[in-house]
């Protein structure tokens, strides 16, 4: 019996994951979840860069 996989963005679980997407070792149930994760990651990177610039001044 195969083990259920959980989406790293929304938490949905499924056993049949042949249509799921993998990115950076994470599992996503849809492109919508991939996009949400990527947009959040981009926003966090921008905030980190702003904080780094403020500390350097």
pLDDT in tens, 7-57: 999 999 999 989 999 999 999 999 999 999 999 999 999 999 999 999 887
pLDDT bin (cut points 50, 70, 90) of residue 2 is low
Q: What is the pTM of this model?
A: 0.79
Q: For 3-18, how does the pLDDT look when each residue is reduced to its tens digit (9 = 90+)?
A: 899 999 999 999 998 9
Q: Which of 36, 26, 27, 10 is nearest to 18 (CA)?
A: 27
Domain that holds residue 50: 5-56
**What is the number of domains present in the chain?**
1
In the chain, the percentage of residues whose pLDDT exceeds 90 is: 84
Is the confidence at residue 1, as pLDDT, over 50?
no
Q: CA 9 to CA 53: how far, in whole Å? A: 30
Q: For 29, which DSSP code?
A: S
């Amino acid at each position: 019996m195969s083990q259920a996989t959980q989406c790293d963005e929304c938490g949905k679980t499924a056993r049949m994951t042949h249509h799921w997407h993998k990115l950076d070792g994470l599992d996503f149930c849809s492109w919508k979840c991939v996009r949400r994760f990527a947009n959040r990651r981009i926003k966090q990177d921008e905030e980190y860069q702003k904080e780094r610039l403020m500390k350097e001044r």
